[in-house]
Structure 1
Amino acid sequence: MNPTRSSGPASGPERECEALRCGELTVIGRIRSASNATFLCEAQLDDQRVHCVYKPVAGEAPLWDFPDGTLAGREVSAYLVSAALGWDIVPYTIIRDGPAGSGMVQLWVDQPGDHVGERPDSGPDLVDLLPAGQIPPGFLPVLRAYDYRGDEVTLVHADNAPLRRMAVFDVLINNADRKGGHILHATDGHVYGVDHGVSMHVEDKLRTVLWGWAGKPVDDETLETVSGLRDDVGGTLGEQLRQHVTDHEVNALRRRAAALLDDPVMPSPDRHRPIPWPAF
C-alpha cells in the first residue's frame, strides 16, 4: 500500500492522517519494551508533523499459530473493524513504506505523563493491580493473585462505556493479547486500544484482561452496531480486510458477529490461560 497525497486541503485530524500517509518518516527511537521491532517516528508533510509508531514487516518474529499474512496486516485489519464500528478504538493505522521497508504505521497517542513536567492521575489506572479487598467504586474484579512480594492483589478494570465497547471489539476481532498496557487513556480523555497483531484468527484465541463483564448481557445499542458490522463484512469491509487476512478469517469475523447477535451475552473464560501474561 503506497501513500498517496490527497488533492484537496485538509485540517486538524485529517492533516495528521495525511501526514502519516504521505509525510517523510524519521525514526526518533526504538521502543524496547515491544517484542518485535517497533520504532517511535515523526512523519512530516509540509508544516505538519505527527508522532507515530512504525513496525516494519521485516522486524516481525514468525509465529507458528499465526502463519498467514503479517502482523502489520492484522493491525490494519483491527483498525478497519474499529472504523466500521464507529467506536474509534484503534488509532489511525495504515501500511506504508518506511526507513526499514513496508510496515504498519499508527498515530501516536499522547498520555498524561508522556511529557516532562506532566503528572499522571494518582488514582487507579483503567486496568490495575490493587490490594485484595480494596476495589474502588466504578471498578470490576477480574482475578486474585500474588504480587512479586507475595502480597495478595486483585486485577481490576474500570466499569465504563469505552472499556465495555473495547471488550466487545476484542470478542469480534478475536484478540489474543489484550493487556493492560495495550489500553491507552489519552490526554483528551479518549480511550484507545493498540497492539492488535495477534487478532482475527479463525480459532478461539481470546485472551484479555477485560473479563469483568463475563456472562453479562450486551446492550441493544451495541448489538445494533454489531449487526451493521456483520452486514459490512459481506461488502466493502470484507473486501478491504481480504487485502490483509485470509478469506477464512474474514468469514470467521462475520460468524463471531452473528454469534454475538444470536446469543447477546459476553463470553466467559473457559480455556487455559484466558489472560495474557504478563498482564501489563
Structure 2
Amino acid sequence: MPPTDLLSAELTLTARITTASNATFLGAIGPSTVVYKPIAGESPLWDFPHGALAHREVAAYALSQVFGGDVVPRTWLRDGPLGEGMVQLWCEPDPQQHPVDLIAAAPSTEKSTPVHTPPAGFKHVLSGEDETGRIVNLVHEDGPALRRMAVFDVIVNNADRKGNHILAMADGIRHGVDHGLTFHHEHKLRTVLWGWLGENLNDEELMAVQRVCQGLNGDLGRQLADLLTAQELDAVATRCEILQNTARFPAPSGRMPAVPWPLF
C-alpha cells in the first residue's frame, strides 16, 4: 500500500503521453512524478474485458512484490481528475543504456548472408528487414535483471512486452512497465525477451516462482482476488506449477505471434 499522501493528496496532470494507445498522463502528487491511466480512457479490446486494464497493472505490481527483483515500479489504484485509474511512480531511465535493441547484421566475409551473432553480453532473438531492406537483429541483454523479468512475464502471461516497456535505470535495475495486457486465462505470451528459450531456470528464479506459488494461498492471493477473476487466478497458479516442474524457459506456443507488434 502506498503512503497515505500518494492515495489522498491532489493528483495534478502536467502532460499527456500521446504515444500510448490508451489515455495516459504524466502528473504530480506533491513532489512525486507519476503516470496516471484513467479507467475511463481505456480503449475496448477484443480479447480483454473492458475497464480492467488498470486492475491488471496493479495486480502485476502486487505479484512483483512477492516475486522479487523490483520488476514493476510502485503502482496503485486511486481517484484522479478523470476518475479512478492506475497510478505509477515515474522512473526516469538512463538514455545511454539500451537493454533491447535493433542492430544491423554484420556482413559475412565468406558468404553473402549476414551474420546474426549478437554482441558480447547480449542474446539474439530474431532477424528481419527494416524499412530500407537492411537485415537487422533484435537483441537483448543477457543479465539477471532481464532474466527475472522474462520469468515474471511468463507467470503474468504478458501479452505486450515491447522493448520500450523496459526501463534501464542508471543503477542497473531494469523496471518493466505497461502491464495492462496481462493475466489472461488463455496463453497470450508475446515478448521480445526470448533469448533464453529452453535454458534452465537458476535457483534464484525457481525460488521466486515458489514464493509466488505460496503467496497465491495467502496475502497475495487475497490481493489478486480483488483485481482478477477466479479463472485468471487459477491460470496464474497453473503457470507457476508448469515453471516449477519444467524448470526452464518456455518456447513460444499456439497460433498467436510470439512477439508484440510493433517491437518498440
Length-normalised TM-score, structure 2: 0.92
Instruction: Compute the displacement of 1:50 (Å).
Output: 0.6
Residue 29 (1) aligns with residue 15 (2) = yes
What letter is aligned with 1:181?
N
CA distance in 2, matches of 1:160, 1:210: 11
Check whether the contact 2:44–2:50 (CA below 8 A) recurs between aligned residues: no
CA distance in 1, matches of 2:25, 2:185: 29
CA distance in 1, matches of 2:175, 2:211: 21
Instruction: Compute the displacement of 1:84 (Å).
Output: 1.0
**Equivalent in the alignment of 2:76:** 94
- Which secondary structure state, in structure 1, belongs to the residue aligned with residue 11 of structure 2? strand
Residue 126 (1) aligns with residue 106 (2) = no
Check whether the contact 1:69–1:245 (CA below 8 A) recurs between aligned residues: no
Matches within 5 A, 1:142-153: 142-153=125-136
Q: Kindly tell me: are residues 187 and 20 of structure 1, through their superposed partners in 2, closer, same or farther at Cα, counting changes over 3 Å?
A: farther
What letter is aligned with 1:43?
I
**Equivalent in the alignment of 2:111:** none
- Which secondary structure state, in structure 2, belongs to the residue aligned with residue 184 of structure 1? strand
**Equivalent in the alignment of 1:267:** 250
What letter is aligned with 2:121?
G
**Equivalent in the alignment of 1:7:** none
- Which secondary structure state, in structure 2, belongs to the residue aligned with residue 64 of structure 1? coil
**Equivalent in the alignment of 2:123:** 140
* Cα deviation digits, residues 157-214 of structure 1 (max 9, x gap): 0000000000000000000000001000123332100000010011000000000001
Instruction: Compute the displacement of 1:68 (Å).
Output: 6.3
Among 149, 152, 156, which residue is 1:169 paired with? 152
Check whether the contact 1:28–1:39 (CA below 8 A) recurs between aligned residues: yes
RMSD over aligned Cα, in angstroms?
1.5
Matches within 5 A, 1:6-155: 17-44=3-30, 49-67=31-49, 70-112=52-94, 120-121=95-96, 125-132=98-105, 133=115, 135-155=118-138
Residue 255 (1) aligns with residue 238 (2) = yes
Structure 2: stretches of 5+ with no match in the other structure: 106-114
What letter is aligned with 1:57?
I
CA distance in 1, matches of 2:4, 2:71: 19
**Equivalent in the alignment of 1:189:** 172
* Cα deviation digits, residues 36-61 of structure 1 (max 9, x gap): 000000111xxxx1100000000001
What letter is aligned with 2:28?
E
Paired residues, what number?
Answer: 253
CA distance in 2, matches of 1:35, 1:68: 14
Instruction: Compute the displacement of 1:251 (Å).
Output: 1.2
Q: Kindly tell me: are residues 37 and 68 of structure 1, through their superposed partners in 2, closer, same or farther at Cα, counting changes over 3 Å?
A: closer
Structure 1: stretches of 5+ with no match in the other structure: 4-13, 113-119
Residue 278 (1) aligns with residue 262 (2) = yes
Instruction: Compute the displacement of 1:20 (Å).
Output: 2.6
CA distance in 1, matches of 2:234, 2:51: 16
Residue 156 (1) aligns with residue 139 (2) = yes
Check whether the contact 1:78–1:173 (CA below 8 A) recurs between aligned residues: yes
Check whether the contact 2:15–2:25 (CA below 8 A) recurs between aligned residues: yes
- Which secondary structure state, in structure 2, belongs to the residue aligned with residue 24 of structure 1? coil
**Equivalent in the alignment of 1:8:** none
Length-normalised TM-score, structure 1: 0.87
